[in-house]
Amino acid sequence: MINKSKNLLIPALTITLLLTACGEKNNANATNNTLTPLSDIVTDASQIDGFHDDAYDYVYLGTFDEKPIKWKVLANHRNSGEADGLFVLADSGIENSRFGDSADWNNSLGREWCRNFYENPDVFSDSERNLILYTQKTDELDYEAPDGVDGSYLACPLDGDYCFFLSVEEAMQTEYGFPNNMLADPSRSVEYNGRLRWWWLRSRYSEDSGRECLVYRDGNITNDISTRSVILARPAFNLSKSDASIFFAQKTEEANTWRLTLTDQKNLPTPEITNPVITEGQISFRCTNPADESYTNLSVMITNKEQNEIYAYESFPRESLSPDKDLLVTLPKGFSEDSCSVLVFNENNDSQNAVSYAGKPVELQ
């Protein structure tokens, strides 16, 4: 697993490699004999970026109605400013929700919905939930309502919330890719079940305690009665970049989209490896894992000795494993036993987008 000083914790179990001859084969991420870290698979979430160059990064975490939840990364820091987190917003609405009889966030059904969403074991596993950071934040300003609307939209602090709706202030942050006004703008529009829909904010309208702020389908910020039941809950939270449970983060086939692999040493078996040999620019070994269904793949990762850079990653489906079959992994150019670690681990990777899980790695040395 990953240590949050940016190192993998080396397991006690190691297997000695037989080094016969170390030839070289080209590696797409290496030039000459210099080891080059992969850019699409990294040891934590720190490479995932917020809004930049008119585009967002995305990350998957949790499931709802048995579908992976995709999150838009608004910033590569917390909404309260600390650098240890990513500020993320659901890419779509989750479901319809009333804000409640009161438009005060602290006593609202909207806040209760967010709390239940965060705590729901069918939405987040314990490992996923541990990545969501406690948030303490004070909005700086009240905002005068747009022309033709009396009053203002009030600042709304967060006091120990893990999951929450955006405030008016946050929905107007250019840093997050939104315009610094309340006018219609597609950056705030969201589609749900094939239609553009309204979604709740957490800021209250000053002139009526029963009216809450929201984003209209065309992206303008307005307000409506808080008891409406056809407005979307679109949660946000701060996601840890380097929690100890993050094994690695990997780009998916979707543009600018990442998935996380988390450690699960309880439910996944440790690999059983025999006959590891390095020859002709490859490493070969055999796996005698039990043929159970707790894992889907056997994976190999080559890192530096500090294990904060990844040079190669390859995964073999469980069905392809056999005690009598050699598994071959191409070594990155520049590989040496003195500068690299070879880690083998079982992985449960049963969905293209959902979070995957990795068991305890074995180091071949």
Token pair for 205: 């309208």
Angle formed at CA 84 by CA 186 and CA 356, multiple of 5 degrees:
75
Which pLDDT score is estimated for 147? 59
DSSP string, 119-176: H-TTTS-HHHHTTEEPEEE-----EEPPTT--SEE----EEEESSBPPPTTGGG-GGG
How many C-beta atoms surround the C-beta of residue 228 within 10 A?
Answer: 15
Q: How far is Cα 270 from Cα 29, in angstroms, rounded to an integer?
A: 29
Which pLDDT score is estimated for 282? 92
Which pLDDT score is estimated for 3? 33
Q: How far is CA 192 from CA 3, 31, 100, 155, 232, in A?
A: 39, 46, 22, 28, 9
**Residue 246 in contact with residue 262, Cβ under 8 Å?**
yes
Largest CA distance in the chain: 80
In a structure prediction context, what are the per-residue pLDDT tens digits for the chain, which is 365 residues long?
323 334 444 343 455 444 333 322 334 444 456 899 999 999 999 999 999 999 999 999 999 999 999 999 999 999 999 999 999 999 999 999 999 988 899 999 999 999 999 999 999 999 999 999 999 998 766 777 665 566 688 888 999 999 999 999 999 999 999 999 899 999 999 999 999 999 999 998 888 888 899 999 999 999 999 999 899 999 999 999 989 899 999 999 999 999 999 999 888 989 989 989 988 789 999 988 767 788 999 999 999 999 999 999 999 999 888 888 999 999 999 999 899 999 999 999 877 668 999 999 999 87
Which pLDDT score is estimated for 1? 31
Which pLDDT score is estimated for 51? 96
56 SS3 class: coil
Which pLDDT score is estimated for 68? 95
Which pLDDT score is estimated for 131? 97
Q: How far is Cα 338 from Cα 32, in angstroms, rounded to an integer?
A: 18
Which pLDDT score is estimated for 187? 97
Token pair for 222: 């307005």
Q: Which helix (H) or strand (E) holds 315?
A: strand 310-317
| Residue 348: partners with Cβ closer than 8 Å, 6 or more residues away | 264, 267, 268, 294, 295, 296, 297, 356, 357, 358
